[in-house]
Amino acid sequence: MRARRLAVAMAAAATLTLAGCSGGDGGGGTEPAASGSAVAGEGSSETLRIGIKFDQPGLGYQDGSEYTGFDVDVARYVAEALGYSEDQIEWVQAPSAQRENLLQTGQVDMIFATYSITDTRKEVISFAGPYFVAGQDLLVAADDDSITGPEDLEGKNLCSVTGSTSAQRIKDEYATGTNLLEQPGYAECVTALTSGAVDAVTTDDIILAGLAAQPANEGQVKVVGNPFSEENYGVGLPLDSDRCEAVTEAITAMIEDGSWEQILQDNVGASGYEANADLNPPTPEACA
């Protein structure tokens, strides 16, 4: 009896410890899925493992067993051009902070996940593209006409995701009196926006458009449409990947045959958002 109690107590203690761990990284539940599927794909050259976001509606979103979004559809197009059919694709979750790691350790073959091309990232991985040029923008309540740009946020409450610099940039460069709310995900930010707790949500415009296009948010929020930065979304590939050229060709073909426009409309068109026409569609850079 005593031994059994001890065992129960130890099990309870172990559970507590685990709970502490998963709380610590803020999204512990997501990791096993990513690593589990990566192991399954190991060794079989017939599948293509593509890293996407699972939690960004309109871009990369897991809806039951379906995957939807702009990034996902672009990935499907590119995979097809590379000779992989739909059922040969294995979708792997690629959270922002883990993307380079997933590519460096070979857990995914390529990543389509609102992945901005930057010089520090280029040191450890390669990019193909860009296939889209996003810009930082604001999401506000549909009936709010007082906010037309980052300068109008003085004294207002602004929500962004923990660990992203987009909100800090507004505070540093445009309106020092902005109150910053940091949340674990954009869905929480939109909840705060629709309940009136914050006045605006900020990140890349296409991500905001994806959120605004969600049936639950439709008509309640809108993208301001005054982007004030330039983010070139590229396809993340392992450093010096031999697939770079083929991916670049696929992206060029996708833009030329009108699929790009169609994919964009299908995924975020419902929000009324239109991509910055001066920069889109972009011309993919040559592979290094």
| Interacting residues toward another protein by CB under 8 A | 16, 19-20, 23-26, 96-97, 99-101, 118, 120-121, 123-125, 157, 162-165, 179-184, 188, 191-192, 195, 197
Phi-psi region of 121 (alpha: psi -120 to 50; beta: other; left: phi over 0): alpha
Rounded distance between C-alpha atoms, residue 100 and residue 255, angstroms: 26
Supply the minimum distance, in Å, between the C-beta of residue 39 and another protein: 21
Supply the minimum distance, in Å, between the C-beta of residue 99 and another protein: 8
Of 164 and 214, the one with the shorter C-beta distance to another protein is 164
Q: Which two tokens stand for residue 206?
A: 């296409």
Supply the minimum distance, in Å, between the C-beta of residue 214 and another protein: 18
> Hey, which residues does 180 pair with through a beta bridge?
158
Of 240 and 245, the one with the shorter C-beta distance to another protein is 240
Element (H, E) at 160: strand 157-161
To 10 degrees, the CA torsion angle through 232, 237, 240, 245? Answer: -70
Burial string for 175-189 (b: 16+ CB within 10 Å, else e) reads: beebeebebeebbbb
Of 198 and 223, the one with the shorter C-beta distance to another protein is 198
Of 164 and 276, the one with the shorter C-beta distance to another protein is 164
Supply the minimum distance, in Å, between the C-beta of residue 19 and another protein: 6
Q: Which two tokens stand for residue 239?
A: 């450093």
What letter would DSSP give residue 116? B
Supply the minimum distance, in Å, between the C-beta of residue 26 and another protein: 6
Supply the minimum distance, in Å, between the C-beta of residue 266 and another protein: 29
Of 64 and 177, the one with the shorter C-beta distance to another protein is 177
Tell me the chain's radius of gyration from C-alpha atoms.
21
Supply the minimum distance, in Å, between the C-beta of residue 181 and another protein: 5
| Cα 274 to the center of its chain, rounded Å | 18
CA distances from residue 173 to 111, 165, 170, 260 in whole angstroms, order as listed: 31, 12, 5, 33
Of 120 and 146, the one with the shorter C-beta distance to another protein is 120
> Hey, which residues does 203 pair with through a beta bridge?
137
Of 233 and 273, the one with the shorter C-beta distance to another protein is 233
